[in-house]
Amino acid sequence: EKALRMYTINAAYASFEEKTKGSIEVGKLADLTVLRDDIRKIEPGKIKDVAVEMTILGGKVVNRTKGRSPKM
């Protein structure tokens, strides 16, 4: 949880971009990666093995794993 905050909202704050980046909110830039698994619930050493399901840039899907959908 702490590491996720460091790479998201804290990084945006450090670069004075917290009004447009760092969290998923209306009005913020929609650049994000959807992962196959919840990395908060797996061993830290296995995070590197989690598959990327989708990449969204500027609110548009630019990459999607074919034939699979993320777990909800």
Tell whether 36 and 21 lie within a shared domain. Answer: no
Say if residue 21 is in the same domain as residue 3.
yes
Other beta carbons less than 10 A from residue 47's beta carbon:
13
Please indicate, yes or no, whether residues 35 and 62 belong to a single structural domain of this protein: yes
Q: For 18-53, what is each residue's pLDDT tens digit?
A: 999 999 999 998 888 999 999 999 999 999 999 999
Say whether pTM exceeds 0.75.
Answer: no
Sheet holding 32-35, edge to edge: 32-35, 52-57, 60-64
22: domain range? 1-27
Q: What is the pLDDT of residue 59?
A: 85
Within this chain, do residues 15 and 1 fall inside the same structural domain, yes or no?
Answer: yes
